[in-house]
Amino acid sequence: MIVVLSKNVSVHDKELVRIYLRDRGFAVRDQQFGDDQVIGATGKGVVDLRELGLLPGVERVAATSKPYELVSRETKAEDTIVTVGEAGNVKIGGSRITVIAGPCAVESREQIRETAERVRESGAVLLRGGAYKPRTSPYAFQGLGMKGLEYMKEAGEACGMPIVTEVVSPELAVDMQELTDMFQIGARNMQNFELLKKVGSLGKPVLLKRGPSATVEEWLLSAEYLLAAGTKDVVLCERGIRTFETYTRNTLDISAIPVVKSLSHLPVIVDPSHAVGIRAKVSSAALAAIAAGADGLTVEVHPRPDDALSDGPQSLYPEQFEKLMRDIEALAPVVGKELLRTPQPNRSTAAFRGSDSPAGGAALSGKPVAYNGESGAFAEQALMRIFGEEAPRMQVQSFKGIFDAVLEGSACAGVVPVENSLAGSIHENYDLFLRYPDIAIVGEVKLRIVHCLVADERASMDSISIIRSHPQGFAQCRDFLDKYPSWVLEACNDTATAVASIAREGAVKVAAIAAAAAAKVHGLKILKEGIETNPLNYTRFLVISRKFSGGPGPAGAGLAGAAWVPPSLGSERPDKASLVFSVPDKPGSLFACLKIMAESGLNLSKLESRPIEGKPWEYQFYADVSIPEQGDFFAVMEEFKTCSEDFRFLGAYRGSL
């Protein structure tokens, strides 16, 4: 049983609740869940829940049906997001996929540093490695101990990566706590309860691996030990269970991922390396885990696996890991997630983005991100994918309002849709870039659009007579709507507004076409999910920020200006740029521009013409181009500018797959 205390509960009232529970036969413990103070009560005591709920300082009482109370989703419905590292930019859970990578064991300072650099370059954000290795054979390599942990910490700091390492005894946990950012409880120690209690009491994040013969309930009860002991950040790791199969090292229990996520609010990641134990099969198992809903992966990578002192056959070569990361990035939008990226130290992007000037980043830090629509809108989902679930948000009533908020500085950035894979470009927003020359594009995300039929709890398919949504929502669900010709369609500014209107009115004859997130936010139910005609339905959102003058500015500032880049977008080198241009009215003028791109190795991924406002029958072109690793991109743009007219550089940013 969980007792959630009021936000302003006094020490006296809290103690009275504790005494009340003890007097009735319960063991009690304090716990913190986000902003909520809770008291966990376990044992065979008996209590009147109504009487308990009336005690001063008690907000609500949650009686769970599971033996693991703190871990249970009955206690906490929202997903827990675990933050690792002092910088706080590595998060596990929510809408992002977090990848941990590194060798099985730290073998030398050079080996762990080389591995850290290679996996960081490919996109890993947490460094793994064993300093203490529990091995089946007493003669196998047992790790370098504290010296290995020091090497690992050094490599992690150099590459801007928090570290996670296994702890094998309560005594070592105390010695290791200053050097590690996250403890790992290995599969063999999952039910080492004294170790769980000690590690939990230290308050650091913990990665808890499932034992090779453990049931899901035993695994969750081990997590309960950690939470009960004091830590609030636990990540569950499925790493394969022991079965009769001999073609792989273990059997990856893919079904455990959705099962555990339905039972618990804790994030779940997968270790495909230990699950299959064969290098050639690791990537396939990893992608299957992401498709099943895992929040991340922990993967063994070694620069020279054939020479590894432990688990060489299951360790990926850096080149294999790089390909896996690209595959994950391509798969992530399909499952409604984004690959987590974090800033890399000592990697300059000034040639493209400029740096935070006092007038720029410092002034905008901590301000909200603007989007159009109500809570639960697809734009809000894109915002959270980029900035995280905790990001402060500002709702505005129009796309123009987003640009205004960013320009005025009331929002640090904005998220605007510009293109749908089925309906095409949203020209209104493309045209706004021309009207707001001080706004630049600094990021991009592609969001899969899954439409649901959302209605009041009392509604049914038979009771509905009116459907509300954005016109594009109607168009994208035409095959479904054609089955119900009697329904009346009412257009709204956006899909989430349609849902909000039903919630406000309590209408049972009205349903909305919108995202599942909107139904959850407004307390409505989903009558039918996935009603879009074409499942390959994606919307491309751009992140916009304000340009600043007077700062150091990037090379090519005459083209782009120095735009503030939100820290959540990381500091990776931009690989994509957007521009608008027109060409002289003479034969071959467009060809001359495109020839410059072709000869400079710039891949043109989009080219679309639009009428020029106030100039009938004259057109301008919107273009997206790749930025190659080699060569002076801005020099090419300067050359391009000479053969075009009304050239406008909209921004350089990291493209999304």
User: Given the structure tokens 């109370």, which residue do they identify?
Assistant: 69
Q: Where are the alpha helices (DSSP H) in 28-129?
A: 49-53, 109-122
Cα 223 from chain centroid? Answer: 23
Instruction: Tell me which residue of 577, 620, 621 sits closest to 600, measured CA to CA.
Output: 577
State the catalytic residue, choosing from 399, 541, 621, 634: 541
Determine which helix (DSSP H) or strand (DSSP E) holds 229, and give its type and residue range: helix 216-229
Q: Which two tokens stand for residue 605?
A: 């991924």
**Alpha-carbon separation of residue 511 from 111, 169, 508 (angstroms):** 59, 57, 8
**Count of CB atoms situated within 10 Å of the CB of 117:** 15
The 10 Å Cβ neighbour count of residue 142 is 18
Helix (H) or strand (E) segment spanning residue 72: none
Question: CA–CA separation, 55 vs 78, rounded Å?
Answer: 26
Instruction: Give the separation between CA 49 and CA 26, rounded to whole angstroms.
Output: 13
Strands 2-5 and 36-42: antiparallel
Q: How many helices (H) and strands (E) does the chain have?
A: 23, 31
Of the candidates 177, 172, 152, the residue with the CA atom closest to the CA atom of residue 162: 152
3 state DSSP class of 376: coil
- As given in the structure block, the two tokens for residue 622 are 């919107």
CA angle at residue 528 from 527 to 531, to 5 degrees?
145
541 labelled catalytic = yes
Location of structure tokens 């049914």: 460
Show Cβ contacts of residue 26 under 8 Å, excluding neighbours closer than 6 positions: 1, 41, 42, 43, 45, 47
Query: Which position has the token pair 């299957």?
Result: 288
CA distance 580 to 650: 7
| Residue 298 annotated among the catalytic residues of the structure | no
Task: Count Cα neighbours of 579 within 13 Å in the Cβ-side half-sphere.
Answer: 28
Candidates 352, 539, 634, 649; catalytic one: 539
Q: What is the DSSP letter of 567?
A: G
Contacts of 393 (CB under 8 A, 6+ apart): 368, 369, 370, 371, 380, 383
CB atoms within 10 A of CB 78: 11
Q: Residue 44 is encoded by which pair of tokens? A: 């065979």
Active-site residue set:
539, 541
